[in-house]
Structure 1
Amino acid sequence: MMQTAFLSRTISFLVLSTFCACTNVSKIKEPQPNMPDTWYRNAVIYNLEVSTFKDSDNDGMGDFNGLRNKLGYLADTLGIDVIWLAPFQPSPQRDDGYDIVDHFAIDPRLGSMAEFAGFIAEAKRRGLRVIMDAVLNHTSIEHPWYQAARSDSTSMYHTWYVWSDTKPKDWDKGMVFPGVQNATWTYDEVAAKYYFHRFYDFQPDLNYENPAVQRKALEILNHWLAAGLDGFRLDAVPFIIDIPRTGSENPEHLFSVLTAIRKTVEETNPQTLLLGEANVSATENIDYFGEDGERLNMMFNFFANQKLFFSLAEQDPEPLSKALEEFKEKPALCQWAFFLRNHDEIDLARLTKRQRQRVYDRFGPETNMQLYERGIRRRLAPMIDNPRLIRMAYSLLFSLPGTPVLRYGEEIGMGDDLTLQERLAVRTPMQWDSSRHGGFTQADEPFRNVINSGEYAYEHINVERQYTDSTSLLYFIRTLVKARKSHPEIGRGNWDIIPTSSNSIFAIRYYDEDKQLITVHNFSETSEQFTFDKSITDGFHIDTVLHNEQPNPNLEDNELEGYGFKWLQLVSNRE
């Protein structure tokens, strides 16, 4: 049986006043005043696709009624706070819904507007917030706007897209999907012009230099806020605001568009979340957050994600430590979102070639596991293939200085289907139980196969099987969610990476008013002893509030077994 995560035993640690010279981490800083609080600072976000979550009408595809019926699982069993929905608008489905033909409607296969409203109402009743992917950079080539634009150069919609009379010199630069995509400028036979598409050639980019396009984007966002959404994950933010005529690879950007978006959505709902997909450098972050936090209020930390996987591959936390320090500065009201997996490939483009190859060798050695000349298209469980390391990685995720984001199915360790095209490998239907099609649908055939063979088949990996098993990954993730909510200092406090006597140990301290928490993770597969500077623990006793299950009783209190971890509460001796 798994040892309970919330121990209350007091333990003591050896402390050193100096450290070995090889320790390469930041110096200890004095606590600073706590940060302003916002609702999203300590939320747990859960990402899903309606189509792959739960089918209610037995047509083989998930729908809003099916999702509504599973809200008890999300709110009560898992304890998450925010549901992030992938696109659910009408689409030809050439890019799994990211090629939209009507931004104001719902794909009828997923339900009606009334059923969407019923889902939103039930989510709110259960205390859940809902955000959606806002795909504003481009439309489907089948969108009525583009069809009007290509067929008539005098149409108002013609200037809604980006055109060139001649083939640009950089027609094959700045592609999002290298190895699959061949160009960013493609000739349209009907328009007799080249059109710009940052993504696939069936996804023409909208022209945000046109004020009419900006107004329409704001109208789209306000439409869904009025329908009950609490915010948006803005898809491909740098590409929404880039200016293609200034170059495909290093274009100029219209950051004023982000300011206008934030201002407009907050006029409708001051608590609106704008979570940006912006894989940018540390020096660019301020442009996306805004100097005073007046643009995006949250962004994914892609750089830390890439360095995390490199650290795991190397069994060395230093790359992650440096990444966190490099991206530490941000406006006070803004927040980082951290994740292990999402709906796309693990993007390793910001690693060096050698670093990327190291991650490939460790986590995606086969060619069909790799994608776009930069990433890995696998789910976490089969990729890591080590239960102890999986748990350590999730403990780390929930203890990083930001908001944790969890991908559906990761809480039970779902596998991937590498026979599917590109990123669909990690978008298979949710596995609820051991019945036919994993309880996802009672139709004869699902629209996309549930994983039904091997060790990750639904008969072996499913919610029902893990729900009552205290040693299961699901039980552990539930424990992590509770632990995170018990320690809001992680999301709203200040933090420092603190030195230890082992280069394999990653330790980070959080402080919020009178609360202090230290989380300690061993990146090595072998046991490691660790000690803190005595200034950190003087005047405190230390309670272990979370650790890996079944800790080795032969280890010392200041020793972590391979891939072990502990969350340590510092309690003043005066209390």
Structure 2
Amino acid sequence: MSHVEKLIAAAPEAAPAPWWKGAAIYQIYPRSFADSNGDGIGDLPGITAHLDHVANLGVDAVWVSPFYTSPQRDFGYDVADYRGIDPIFGTLDDFDAMVARAHQLGLKLIIDQVYSHTSDQHDWFAKSRADRTNDKADWYVWADAKPDGSPPSNWQSVFGGPSWTWDARRGQYYLHNFLSAQPDLNVHHPAVQDALIAVARFWLERGVDGFRIDALNFAMHDPALRDNPPLPPGGKRTRPFDFQQHLYNQSHGDITAFIERLRGELDHFPGTFALAEVGGEQALAEMHAFTRGANRLDSAYGFDFLYADRLTPALVASAADAWPDTPGTGWPSWAFENHDAPRAVSRWSKPEHRDAFTRMKLLLLAALRGSIILYQGEELGLTQVDVPFGQLQDPEAIANWPLTLSRDGVRTPMPWHGGAPNLGFGKGEPWLPLGPDHGALAVDRQDRDPGSILAATRTALALRRDRAALRLGAIKLIEAGEQLLIFERRYGGERLRCSFNLSPNRVIWSSAGRAIAAVGEVAETSLGGYAAIIEELSCV
């Protein structure tokens, strides 16, 4: 054995990366995934019965959106009991069966935690509003009226109108950054933090593998209740919320101290994962703060892609550059679609280009540095559904119609069987209408077709799973022009060159290595519209 070989043999093996680093996560919106009992609403047994489909995609984990006891004013993001399962979704036994089946299939399972607010039907709020002296009197954000009776500050709700509602029982206003039925918790209060961490412990002890934390930057406000300053004129404004700089109703600096407390609890359950959702003007700075170092959250995702009107090389380059591979910087996660954002294929491509675009988009998502999130139906290429006003369920869309695009259009039922009643979603009339073109995209029809979007999804995810450079490697931008996006992914001795034409027009391009994946028309000197190729440059 040579001297070099002896050194290599004696060197300690690098610790394996945690499962979530570079993972592909599949989001399930329970109301719309699969209905097992015929009431028109998806449920936990429906999820459990279809987890084979999720596992066969090649993802690493499932994120299940809220299923907690709730009056469903905001469809589960208004929690009335953090430890209960709403009867429309099933029981705790159903939840345990879902976790067990996911683990049996090799899937991690993460769930939503909603720490910034509860439902006004929560027992905590019922007690808090009763008087100003009980032990939960300060668990929510209460404030006196101004001398003229107006609200304590000028803060505006995301869903429209002031974010303060008068409560006659206490003779005070309470804060709600979302619906008036979603009062804000006072997460500054140590007892509230204790209660929320106990909620996290309850679900970790039931076997979940981590959390996606909803609207985390709304968890703490400015205790001085200072007015938000106005935004400069310009930009699209459909709600009063859009007129302000949100400096004081959210994003307080003490959120990070709460995160560190939560991290301490998660660390009692090795291998768990914590992902924050962060939006707003300061989202990037907050995502970095929430994920900095080893004692905060593992990852965060924002809205870089979710509300973008176009997918451009500059957008992808900017998003990637915002997360440098430097010590202390957190790990990003990316989503092109979710339960709040319109379908990417409908936002970013014309109908005549949809098939080619969707294949390119899937390969791009699989090639990004970070963890990636696919929303249910994205693997099928589902389009946004135009839900008529009379069938809208989304409270934000109803309040701001027709200027706010309904979230209902991305929440329509999953099509499982193209020829079945309700496309196999369930026996009863679904809570939202089915997409008129979704039957042809149903799981059973695509599952039999090796040239389908579903097959392309599986191929892209398999490539990501098999190539450490795509899961874990650094990213280096090579070109981000009007049409052409080129970057390299590197890990160890592996070096991959990823090229994407983000336009419907042919673009000049030259091959640089051995192709390991391609979609669309790829030639030696050009890429066709929405074509993409990943090449191996070196592998030692």
TM-score, scaled relative to structure 1: 0.79
Report the Cα offset of residue 332 of structure 1. Answer: 5.5
Partner of 1:548: 519
Does structure 2 conserve the Cα–Cα contact (< 8 Å) formed by 1:297 and 1:333? no
- 3-state SS of 1:498 partner: strand
Give aligned-pair identity as a percent: 30
- Change in Cα spacing, 1:63 to 1:329, as seen in structure 2 (3 Å) is same
Spell out the pairing of 1:261-280 with structure 2 (5 A cutoff): 261-267=262-268, 269-279=269-279, 280=282
Spell out the pairing of 1:42-441 with structure 2 (5 A cutoff): 42-76=22-56, 78-167=57-146, 171-177=153-159, 181-247=160-226, 249-251=246-248, 252-254=252-254, 255-267=256-268, 269-279=269-279, 280-290=282-292, 292-303=293-304, 309=308, 312=311, 316-328=312-324, 331=327, 334-345=330-341, 378-383=342-347, 384=349, 385=351, 386-415=354-383, 416-419=385-388, 420=392, 421=394, 422=397, 423-434=407-418, 435-441=420-426
* CA deviation vs aligned residue, 1:387-444 (integer Å, no higher than 9, x gap): 212222222111111111000011112232432233222111111012001101112x
Report the Cα offset of residue 153 of structure 1. Answer: 1.5
Report the Cα offset of residue 560 of structure 1. Answer: 0.7
Does structure 2 conserve the Cα–Cα contact (< 8 Å) formed by 1:275 and 1:300? yes
- 3-state SS of 2:275 partner: strand
- Change in Cα spacing, 1:379 to 1:118, as seen in structure 2 (3 Å) is same
- Identify the range of structure 1 (161-170 vs 294-303) with the bigger mean alpha-carbon deviation: 161-170
Report the Cα offset of residue 319 of structure 1. Answer: 3.6
Does structure 2 conserve the Cα–Cα contact (< 8 Å) formed by 1:497 and 1:507? yes
Report the Cα offset of residue 382 of structure 1. Answer: 3.2
- Letter of the structure 2 residue corresponding to residue 272 of structure 1: T
Does structure 2 conserve the Cα–Cα contact (< 8 Å) formed by 1:56 and 1:65? yes
- 3-state SS of 2:21 partner: helix
- 3-state SS of 1:328 partner: coil
- 3-state SS of 2:174 partner: strand
| Cα distance in 2 between the residues matched to 1:51 and 1:108 | 12
Root mean square deviation of aligned Cα: 2.2
- Letter of the structure 1 residue corresponding to residue 289 of structure 2: D
- 3-state SS of 1:120 partner: helix
Report the Cα offset of residue 487 of structure 1. Answer: 1.4
Report the Cα offset of residue 244 of structure 1. Answer: 4.9
| Cα distance in 2 between the residues matched to 1:562 and 1:448 | 35
- Letter of the structure 1 residue corresponding to residue 421 of structure 2: R
Does structure 2 conserve the Cα–Cα contact (< 8 Å) formed by 1:65 and 1:111? yes
Does structure 2 conserve the Cα–Cα contact (< 8 Å) formed by 1:343 and 1:407? yes
Matched length: 479
Unaligned runs of 5+ in 2: 1-13, 229-245, 398-406
Partner of 1:365: none
- Change in Cα spacing, 1:324 to 1:310, as seen in structure 2 (3 Å) is farther
Partner of 2:444: 464
Report the Cα offset of residue 490 of structure 1. Answer: 1.9
* CA deviation vs aligned residue, 1:452-481 (integer Å, no higher than 9, x gap): x3xx243x2211111111222111111111
- 3-state SS of 1:511 partner: strand
Q: Say whether residues 1:507 and 2:486 are aligned partners.
A: yes
- Letter of the structure 2 residue corresponding to residue 380 of structure 1: A
Partner of 1:364: none
- 3-state SS of 1:432 partner: coil
Report the Cα offset of residue 145 of structure 1. Answer: 1.1
User: Which structure is higher in RCO with an 8 Å CA cutoff and minimum separation 6?
Assistant: 1
Does structure 2 conserve the Cα–Cα contact (< 8 Å) formed by 1:36 and 1:332? no
Does structure 2 conserve the Cα–Cα contact (< 8 Å) formed by 1:544 and 1:569? yes
- 3-state SS of 1:157 partner: coil
